[in-house]
Chain A
Amino acid sequence: AQKITQTQPGMFVQEKEAVTLDCTYDTSDPSYGLFWYKQPSSGEMIFLIYQGSYDQQNATEGRYSLNFQKARKSANLVISASQLGDSAMYFCAMREGAGGYNKLIFGAGTRLAVHP
């Protein structure tokens, strides 16, 4: 069964606008972590934001925020005030367990294009 689903292969947004990238996940473990990474064409995976399953508030990091809806098992990434440099692949990932079982399971990614 697919654990991380990113249903948007590609998205585009106008510069300075906000965009939401979708991510749904599947797990029966009550303790898990959700991550978003950005991968520019250079190939490096850049950590953006983290949400723990027990966190009461949605995570925010600068222009990035995570819309965490636990009952719906969704963890959408919101990028506000898009910039040209935000054009990249974006991956949602999940770690099951409380840190003792550490591998990340990634979705297939969403390619974001920011237009001037």
Chain B
Amino acid sequence: DTGVSQDPRHKITKRGQNVTFRCDPISEHNRLYWYRQTLGQGPEFLTYFQNEAQLEKSRLLSDRFSAERPKGSFSTLEIQRTEQGDSAMYLCASSQARGQVVDDTQYFGPGTRLTVL
């Protein structure tokens, strides 16, 4: 399977704990995105990387959230001091940018469902 993978698929944690999620993009893709989806809503953009550079962060990404993509391959999203409001599905997507190509389709992984008790 050469699609986007995410680990873990489910995470249950207690309020105040730190959690870390991992995303492995499609191997030749140089762009990687994180989104958050709460129940009954569409995904909301959190942040995006081109290679190892984090180029944009949403205002949703508070200082308790940090994302990295150290070698331009996999990425991690860490949430410190989790709150109940962090409970959501965290989706990762990747795409391939080629020069001025406009069709930059994002392919999503299966998501990590976080429950904060």
Contact = CB atoms under 8 A, between A and B. Distances in A.
A106 B44 contact: yes
A78 to B, nearest CB: 20
Contact-residue bracket for chain B: 20 to 34
Contacts of A50: 103, 105
Interface residues of A, number: 27
Contact of A103 (B56, B97, B111, B113): B56
Interface string B82-111: 000000010101010100111111111111
B110 to A, nearest CB: 5
Contact of A102 (B40, B104, B109): B104
Nearest to A31: B102
Given A52-B102, A98-B100, A105-B45, A43 B107 contact: no
Interface in A35-78: 35, 37, 42-47, 50, 52, 54
Contact of B113 (A43, A45, A95): A43
A109 B6 CA distance: 23
- Which of A45, A52, A91, A106 has the most C-beta atoms of chain B within 10 angstroms of its own C-beta? A45
B104 A93 contact: no
Interface string B32-44: 0101000011111
B11 to A, nearest CB: 13
A42 B93 CA distance: 16
Interface of A: 4, 31, 33, 35, 37, 42-47, 50, 52, 54, 91, 93, 95, 98-99, 102-109
Given A31-B102, A44-B111, A106-B43, 9 more contacts: A33-B102, A43-B89, A45-B93, A47-B107, A52-B103, A99-B101, A99-B102, A104-B106, A108-B40
